[in-house]
Structure 1
Amino acid sequence: MKENRQATIRAAGVLADDLNAQGVEPSEAAQVAACWAHTATVILWCERLDLLPARISAGRELTGAVRAGVEDLAAHPATAGFADPAVNPAMRVTPGLAALAELGDALAASPDHGWDTWTVGDLYQELSAEARKERALAQTPRFIAYPLVDWTVGRAMLDLGDDAKDIRVIDPACGTGHLLVAAVRKVRHLPHRMGMLRIDRAVDAVRGVDLDPYAALIARWRLAVECLPYPRPAIWGDLDPDLPIHVAPANSLLDTHPLLEPGQYHA
């Protein structure tokens, strides 16, 4: 699995070199390349679960396959940012076909992770040096995330008792959404044998902000995945267009934003 990730990272380096040769400034080229590789990975993840039509997985030319996948994802309000160059740098410029060939090979050899989005979230940190260095992206490991949510969100739900269904939670530096996904799953399981909260209400209870617009987009995508209808299989178009997903790019220390107004959260 690690070797497969390294192949994708190497392919992103080839893309960055190609973009640099096209005249794109090095740091911009590296971020565009990282998002190209990551966006293609997200689309392939969706294809393998039949959420999107098989294009990358069917061996279609990668530029067209990625662009078509982006259009499909962007048709839903929760993930419209995939087509926005201000959010997704991959939409700013297209690498050459020869450079994309290595990415295609890496994607073809990548493992199928089923419905788990965790590895896709981690991959962005590995691909983007800019996100790590300039925006301090550092994902919370899974073995820390779930206990952390238990100790915070779980405790707040117990304190709220019968009002636990009205809990409000924020991650003010959410990255690609590890803690948000863990919190949604925690909030769904109400205490005191109160049963299960509907997924849309659980997602509505959880809010996130992050400095990195692309990371926030991936967090939105992951929460949308949590909302896919049951029983599966489903397609991306089955998602409710009015999903209450509250994740936005913002600086939680310096910005004023409705999600950052004090006094509205229990955890």
Structure 2
Amino acid sequence: MGKRIPALTRVEPSRPLIRALQAQIDLLAASITGRDSYRIAAAWVFMSALSAWAEDHGLTPARLRGPGRPARDAYLQAGGTEAGWLALACADLAVHPAGWPLLDPLYGNLVRDDSPSESAARGLLDWWRDDAPTLAYPTSTGPATWEGFLPGELLQLLTDERRLAHALAQSPWWVADGILDRTLIPAAREFRDTTLLLIDPTCGTGHMLVRAVGMVWELYTTGELQPRQMHMHGVTGWTPVPPAVAARRILDGVDGAELDPITAAVARLRVTVTIAHLLHGAGALPGPLRLADIPHSVQPRIVVGDSLLAGKVSQAEYARLRPAQAAIVNLGTTAGGVLAEGVTR
């Protein structure tokens, strides 16, 4: 058993949590052969963190936490492996179409390339069970933990390689709120009782998109939108619509684009959960909120692609410049590399 991490009090990851996860990466990397061992280990640790976040919010079955231990023991007694149980926890995220890209071969998740040893996998599983803090807790200011800011931040913080290679620098929630105040509120004044169109062309893991979803949900369902950060007047006078109509407007109007496939996949999962949580809170989704039970129609349009090339190059040139991105058939499109012709609606 390792050192227990103090309880978390904010949506950003604490230094003890980051250090503990980086230590788990080192342990897993030592058990994996090949030059990509550290990157593969980092992918497994991040996926375990994303799984723990989903599990702590009741979205997926208990596998990593204490209540999941009897099922894990039964799985091992039936001939399963510790690494296999860890893989099942990751696979739980793919039960909804919005989560499947996390394991789609074209998205390049390195957990598909190799697995940790039994002892390393057991150590990571035991750490999540015995020592890791819950990732679901009350927050006094800023986003609720179900918006996924913590796992969204972890993707860039666990390895220098990902942060440097993809220039991944997430906007703090208060910066996102300030920008959205200055853009959504004026737009709501000018374009009343319609679907507001918004795109984040470099959306990262979805910080800006998640906060935008909450703001336009407030506007659509209450007819009002008040600023979250800026000292400015809000907007009133919209005609409130039912939750299902508000969700459809959000899906039709809030879009994102991201160059790195896995980063985009995390954003897509977070925005899906955010919309579903709002629907659930409004009584439009009955029963406990489970990822497997979220309607498949709740799939935000977050495309993988280079937004700097949108509308500037041909499909053939785009495929030459960005082959990995061009191979992906983005949600709501019929061909890979849709950004070569611009994002379509």
The structural deviation recorded for 1:85 is 3.5
Same amino acid, percent of matched pairs: 31
The CA distance in 2 between the partners of 1:73 and 1:146, in whole Å, is 28
- Tell me whether 1:243 sits opposite 2:298 in the alignment: yes
The structural deviation recorded for 1:233 is 2.2
- Tell me whether 1:110 sits opposite 2:141 in the alignment: no
Residues 254-263 or 49-58, more deviating = 254-263
The answer on whether the counterparts of 1:200 and 1:227 sit within 8 Å (CA) in structure 2 is no
The CA distance in 2 between the partners of 1:78 and 1:66, in whole Å, is 20
- Tell me whether 1:149 sits opposite 2:180 in the alignment: yes
Q: What code does the residue aligned with 1:158 have?
A: R
Inter-CA distance 9–160: structure 2 relative to 1 (3 Å threshold): same
The structural deviation recorded for 1:144 is 0.8
Q: How many residues align?
A: 258
The answer on whether the counterparts of 1:188 and 1:202 sit within 8 Å (CA) in structure 2 is yes
Q: 2:115 aligns with which of 94, 98, 101?
A: 94
The structural deviation recorded for 1:172 is 0.9
The CA distance in 2 between the partners of 1:75 and 1:144, in whole Å, is 33
The equivalent residue for 1:14 is: 27
The answer on whether the counterparts of 2:94 and 2:102 sit within 8 Å (CA) in structure 1 is yes
What secondary structure sits across from 2:192 in the alignment? helix
Q: List aligned pairs for 1:1-267, cutoff 5 A.
A: 1=8, 2=14, 3-19=16-32, 22-23=33-34, 25=35, 28-57=36-65, 58-59=68-69, 60=72, 62-87=82-107, 88-108=109-129, 109-114=131-136, 115-163=146-194, 166-190=195-219, 191=224, 192-194=236-238, 195=240, 198-228=246-276, 229-230=279-280, 231=283, 233-254=288-309, 257-258=337-338
TM-score with structure 2 setting the length: 0.68
What secondary structure sits across from 1:220 in the alignment? helix
More helix as a share of residues: 1
What are the ranges of 5 or more consecutive residues in structure 1 without an aligned counterpart?
Answer: none
TM-score with structure 1 setting the length: 0.86
The CA distance in 2 between the partners of 1:258 and 1:189, in whole Å, is 31
The CA distance in 2 between the partners of 1:68 and 1:89, in whole Å, is 16
The answer on whether the counterparts of 2:99 and 2:265 sit within 8 Å (CA) in structure 1 is yes
Q: What code does the residue aligned with 2:272 have?
A: A
Q: Does 1 or 2 have the higher relative contact order (CA < 8 Å, sep 6+)?
A: 1
What secondary structure sits across from 1:77 in the alignment? coil
The CA distance in 1 between the partners of 2:338 and 2:187, in whole Å, is 22
The CA distance in 2 between the partners of 1:62 and 1:203, in whole Å, is 38
What secondary structure sits across from 2:257 in the alignment? strand
The equivalent residue for 2:3 is: none
What secondary structure sits across from 1:233 in the alignment? coil
Q: CA RMSD in A?
A: 2.4
The structural deviation recorded for 1:255 is 5.1
The structural deviation recorded for 1:184 is 0.8
What are the ranges of 5 or more consecutive residues in structure 2 without an aligned counterpart?
Answer: 1-7, 9-13, 73-80, 137-145, 225-235, 312-336
> Alpha-carbon deviations, 1:86-125, whole Å to 9, x = none?
3222122111122234433442323223224111110111
Inter-CA distance 127–86: structure 2 relative to 1 (3 Å threshold): farther
The structural deviation recorded for 1:180 is 0.6
The answer on whether the counterparts of 2:97 and 2:299 sit within 8 Å (CA) in structure 1 is no
The answer on whether the counterparts of 2:40 and 2:114 sit within 8 Å (CA) in structure 1 is yes
The answer on whether the counterparts of 1:121 and 1:178 sit within 8 Å (CA) in structure 2 is yes
The CA distance in 2 between the partners of 1:149 and 1:30, in whole Å, is 37
The CA distance in 2 between the partners of 1:5 and 1:31, in whole Å, is 16
